[in-house]
Amino acid sequence: MKIISICIASFLAIFFYSSCADHSSQQKEVEELHDVIMARNFQLNDLIDSIELLTAGKTLDTTVLQKFDRDKIIKELQTSDRLMMKWMKDYGDSIDVIEKNEKSVYLDRQKVVLSDIKEITFSSIEGARQFLNAVQSK
């Protein structure tokens, strides 16, 4: 009987440890994705400032106007920033209070959400750069 109790206790300890290690691994993946996005996220306000400065009081070339929507590009950059700031607040508020049995699903969902934010952020940065290049070349 004592051997069975020891086996059960050992099994539970291993199960608990592997569960925590899995959460730790998932959390690390989420935080690494966060870091990738934040490395680019710092560029958003600089790009907005550059667009506003470069186009202030300037009549844009019609070919640039046909290809790009300045206000939409700025709005996309602002949206990217807002999405990331909201995600960080929500994640910070939730990660330490979420139940252990729900943590794996929560972290998987956060990877999906961050992947979407990454796509939006990178796309908005690329659009802004293309716009700036077009304005500067005219």
Gap between the Cα atoms of 131 and 133, Å rounded: 5
The amino acid that residue 18 corresponds to is S
- Residue 41 backbone phi and psi in degrees, to 5: -60, -30
Lookup: tokens for 68: 């790009």
- Residue 133 backbone phi and psi in degrees, to 5: -60, -40
Of 31, 41, 13, which is closest to residue 124 (Cα–Cα)? 41
Gap between the Cα atoms of 105 and 117, Å rounded: 19
pTM of the model: 0.79
The 10s digit of each residue's pLDDT in 66-115 is: 889 999 999 999 999 999 999 999 999 999 999 989 999 999 999 999 99
pLDDT score, position 10:
38
Lookup: tokens for 138: 């005219």
pLDDT score, position 8:
44
pLDDT score, position 19:
43
Of 99, 79, 120, 94, which is closest to residue 30 (Cα–Cα)? 94
pLDDT at 120 > cutoff 50:
yes
pLDDT score, position 55:
87
Gap between the Cα atoms of 78 and 120, Å rounded: 11
The 10s digit of each residue's pLDDT in 2-56 is: 454 443 443 334 444 434 445 789 999 999 999 999 999 989 999 999 999 988 8
